[in-house]
């Protein structure tokens, strides 16, 4: 794995935001990410943000208004791209498949398999590269995300609890096996055997008891004016699963808020404070 290349640096809120690129063995192509670090020697607790469909590392960085709170809390924020990109990387005309829509799984099917290894990229290549290059604390990591990235945050935390001590989500795809976005992506990336899909469904993982004893709480923020709420997101499936498993889950429903970054920017400081308090225990 090659070292991290810093593409640009920007002072903001008493810290530094860096846009970076590195070679990733999992995807076979260079990958981009942004990283905010407060001033000081560190090592800092770090929260990884996973973005939603069509996004890059830029969306959260430019729109979430997160770095003032992160600086005050002395916490780092890592925001990777949502998929591999570039010449020779498979794509699809639809916005919900291919580049910009990696769904944070390791594809097993053609033409996606050679590059769309997003789970391994996030939990291995990205964390190793950032940990080697910057003063972040390997034992104090959280993860959060939005929509497709909320699905990614929940499932990667549940599947890799040794890597992430906290997890929260904004308007996550709660059960991809039971919504159009998830079914389309899983069939393309993982094949027709739906038994394999279950391994990447947050509601089904929680129902199976995967979170029990690993996370004292899981925080979910959901806008009630979200036009994807009923068909794609279905937070009630998370609640039903958590109740069945005896897992604490906090779903906060916010009247009037939609699926946009205006929603995220309103509540991001709450989520960062929630992560920071738990990561510093």
What's the rounded Cα separation, in Å, for the pair 12 and 268?
A: 17
Set out the domains of the chain in order of their start, with CATH numbers: 4-279 (3.40.50.1820)
Percent of the chain with pLDDT over 90: 98
224-242 mean pLDDT:
98
pLDDT number for residue 76: 98
Distance separating the N- and C-terminal Cα atoms of the chain: 33
Catalytic residues: 147, 226, 259
The angle formed by the CA atoms of residues 246, 251 and 253, to the nearest 5 degrees, is: 155
Mean pLDDT, the chain, as a whole number? 97
Q: How far is CA 49 from CA 74, 165, 251, in A?
A: 16, 14, 19
Quick one: which H or E segment has residue 240?
helix 235-245
- Look-up of token digits 């604390």: 137
For 86-144, write each residue's pLDDT tens digit.
999 999 999 999 999 999 999 999 999 999 999 999 999 999 999 999 999 999 999 99
- Give the pLDDT mean for 220-232: 98
CA 215 to chain CA centroid, nearest Å: 17
Q: Is 9 exposed, middle or buried (0-12, 13-18, 19+ CB in 10 A)?
A: exposed
Q: Alpha helix locations (H) across 55-201?
A: 57-63, 67-73, 118-120, 127-133, 148-159, 180-190, 194-197
- pLDDT attached to residue 2: 54
pTM over 0.95: yes
Residue 19 has pLDDT above 80, yes or no: yes
Q: Give the model's pLDDT for residue 213.
A: 87
What is the pLDDT, as a whole number, of residue 1? 41
For residues 37-54, give the mean pLDDT.
Answer: 98
27 secondary structure, DSSP code: T
């Amino acid at each position: 794995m090659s070292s991290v290349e810093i593409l640009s640096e920007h002072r903001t809120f008493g810290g530094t935001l860096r846009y970076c690129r590195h070679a990733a063995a999992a995807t076979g192509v260079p990958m981009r990410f942004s990283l905010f670090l407060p001033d000081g020697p560190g090592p800092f607790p770090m929260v990884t943000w996973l973005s939603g469909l069509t996004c890059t590392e830029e969306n959260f960085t430019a729109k979430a208004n997160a770095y003032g709170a992160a600086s005050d809390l002395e916490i780092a924020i890592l925001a990777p791209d949502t998929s591999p990109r570039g010449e020779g990387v498979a794509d699809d005309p639809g916005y919900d498949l291919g580049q910009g829509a990696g769904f944070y799984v390791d594809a097993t099917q053609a033409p996606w398999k050679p590059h769309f290894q997003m789970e391994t990229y996030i939990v291995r290549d990205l964390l190793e590269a950032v940990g080697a290059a910057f003063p972040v604390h390997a034992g104090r990591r959280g993860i959060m995300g939005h929509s497709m990235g909320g699905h990614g945050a929940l499932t990667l935390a549940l599947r890799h609890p040794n890597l992430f001590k906290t997890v929260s989500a904004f308007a996550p795809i709660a059960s991809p096996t039971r919504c159009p976005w998830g079914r389309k992506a899983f069939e393309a990336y993982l094949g027709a055997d739906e038994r394999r899909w279950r391994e990447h469904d947050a509601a089904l993982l929680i129902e199976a008891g995967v979170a029990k004893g690993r996370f004292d709480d899981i925080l979910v923020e959901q806008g009630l004016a979200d036009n994807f709420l009923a068909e794609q997101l279905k937070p009630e499936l998370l609640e039903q699963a958590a109740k069945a498993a005896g897992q604490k889950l906090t779903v906060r429903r916010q009247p009037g808020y939609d699926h946009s970054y205006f929603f995220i920017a309103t509540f991001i400081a709450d989520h960062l404070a929630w992560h920071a308090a738990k990561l510093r225990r």
